[in-house]
Structure 1
Amino acid sequence: MSSEPSGIPHPLSHRVPDLGALELLLAVARHGSLGRAAREVGITQPAASSRIRSMERQLGVALVDRSPRGSRLTDAGALVTDWARRIVESAEAFDAGVQALRGRRDSRLRVAASMTIAEYLLPGWLIALRSDRPDTAVSLQAGNSAAVAERLLSGEADLGFVEGLAIPEGLDGAVVAHDRLVVVAAPSHPWARRREPIDPAELAVTPLVLRERGSGTRQVLDAALAGHGGLAEPLLELASTTAVKAAAVSGAGPAVLSELAITEELASRRLAAIPVAGVLLRRDLRAVWPTGHRPTGPARDLLSLTRARPGG
């Protein structure tokens, strides 16, 4: 059998004291007094005496000689103190390094969001976050829900927001707001002059101005009309909510847009909302993150803000 080291680290001996006990021993060495050492580390003198005795039993050697004139380290105590000083200094360096890592993590936040959330909800949430964390630099990448999932899973984003029917595979999430999709058209379109709602079958066979496949809007619409023959080939397929809205306002054709995105256009009558009977076009808006990696630092704070300031 080989006697060479296996490379597997051995567990620490039960005789190694904890850091608190070592810090107390160093304080005794500095002050020459158990009472003053106890005050420095924030415990009572009886508790300090008990901890020193416990450490002496643990190590099997006497560390401190106590007398009316004070407390003096034994020869063994002086040697143990030298070793303890190195351990405590290493622990302090470890703690400083961890704090630096935490500070670096907390100095930036990378957010990925689907288009509607990025344009109409996140600005308010990020303004509130800046009030709480003025030193955190935030970057925002907008794309469809599929792109948001890809960025999170590849480590390119710390927190995401999506609009689809379900949480993408590989992610966990929480509902932060609700939204309704609305069929809209320019006031000159025949649908805008109808008194009765259109039915799902007519909506399904009509070429519409739509977001691209992979967007949350498209997922909800596909699912809602699946039982009515599915969506017709789009009249136009555009990559942003703003582009879809502009096309609808120009009279290109009917479109389906988030209620959040069309408030001004409906109020100014540049678009008309078209009632649809017998189909539910509501959806949940979710914050998402990689499974098993719940948000921390500024990502956690932003998630809390979305719940305190819901968007819908």
Structure 2
Amino acid sequence: MTRPETNRGGDEAGAGRPPGSPLAHRVPDLGALELLLAVARLGSLGGAARELGITQPAASSRIRSMERQLGVALVDRSPRGSRLTDAGALVTDWARRIVEAAEAFDAGAQALRDRRDSRLRVAASMTIAEYLLPGWLIALRARRPDTAVSLLAGNSAVVAERLLAGEADLGFVEGLSVPSGLDSVVIGHDHLVVVTAPAHPWARRRRPLAAAELAATPLILREKGSGTRQVLDAALGGLARPLIELSSTTAVKASAVSGAGPAVLSELAVGEELSLRRLVTVPVDGAALGRDLRAVWPTGHRPAGPARELLSLTRSGRS
């Protein structure tokens, strides 16, 4: 029985390539296809090379590589120029569709990037939101005036919830540890200080306050879940029942200024009150009240676009 004649070019093109091998190994890359389209349009390999910004030897090498990959001759070269073979003309038609589809893909991807870059959703714990973020956002606006920024201020637990729910692009926390499911980088450092109104008995102490006495004293505190509360609780090994429990740094500070009782606040938050003697600091022995300030984001999703730029601004000023 006589075997039917097969297409030799097809045999060569498929040689050594099992049908299930990756498509990327069997199809020329976009750069090669764009070069072939330029040769077809200009009728010159040298002109196509100049248009694409490569040397003529590099263009010749790329065409030969594509011919070997496909197993057919694509371009006839002569002193008068370059013309497509019949197979080359057919491949050029297919290449045009692929390049047009790639251009549509690129335009769609750019639209997605533009949409991403048009907004930035930030979630930050209260101290950072009130005393650091405003300056960072002003600097970001100078670089990206068309980016609309929304800010959600809450405690560290709330920041983690918003990030994990996809409701924020970048977060900032000030607790002892990184919430589960988030990656982080340290962007600065902070220190907690014990403060009271000048009339409080602690304001007249000549010796530092013992950590045990601080732990046993009802204080004006932030709510559970706040970074400030976490650091203080860990440093003292537990806290007495709060004198007052409030949900913002500003509220805690105002209560302390009013003379309601002692409070523990970030030194970032009380600079003006200390300089005006509306509050005074009370030294403490035996308690480590330092903490790291961190930028956080969902694990595996490194900040991009305006979120990445904001992150770079916070780190550029890190002490």
**Bin for the TM-score computed over the shorter chain:** over 0.9
Instruction: Return the alpha-carbon distance in structure 2 between the equivalents of residues 51 and 192 of structure 1.
Output: 80
Aligned to 2:54: 43
1:290 matched to 2:290? The reply is no
- Normalising by structure 2, we get a TM-score of 0.90
Instruction: Return the alpha-carbon distance in structure 1 between the equivalents of residues 59 and 186 of structure 2.
Output: 51
1:136 matched to 2:141? The reply is no
Q: Which of the residues 136, 158, 161 maps onto 1:125?
A: 136
5+ long unaligned stretches in structure 1: 1-8
- Show the 5 A alignment for 1:1-312: 11-12=22-23, 14-226=25-237, 230-310=238-318
Q: Deviations over 1:103-136 (max 9, x none)?
A: 1111111110000000001111111111222221
Q: RMSD across aligned C-alpha pairs, in angstroms?
A: 1.5
Secondary structure in structure 2 of the residue aligned to 1:293: coil
Q: Contact 1:125 / 1:309 at 8 angstroms: preserved in 2? A: no
Question: Which moves more between the two structures, 107-116 or 200-209?
Answer: 200-209
5+ long unaligned stretches in structure 2: 1-19
Letter in 2 for 1:258: S
Tell me by how many angstroms 1:279 deviates.
1.3
Instruction: Return the alpha-carbon distance in structure 1 between the equivalents of residues 250 and 65 of structure 2.
Output: 71
After the TM superposition, which segments of 4 or more aligned residues of structure 1 sit over 6 Å from their partners?
none
Q: Deviations over 1:268-287 (max 9, x none)?
A: 01111111122111111111
Letter in 2 for 1:117: I
Tell me by how many angstroms 1:10 deviates.
7.0
Secondary structure in structure 2 of the residue aligned to 1:223: helix
Instruction: Return the alpha-carbon distance in structure 1 between the equivalents of residues 57 and 198 of structure 2.
Output: 85
Letter in 2 for 1:267: S
Tell me by how many angstroms 1:14 deviates.
4.1
Tell me by how many angstroms 1:48 deviates.
1.8
Q: Contact 1:179 / 1:259 at 8 angstroms: preserved in 2? A: yes
Identity, % of aligned positions: 82
In structure 2, the CA distance between the partners of 1:13 and 1:242, relative to structure 1 (3 Å rule), is closer
Secondary structure in structure 2 of the residue aligned to 1:260: coil
Q: Deviations over 1:112-171 (max 9, x none)?
A: 000000000111111111122222111110000010011111111111111111111111
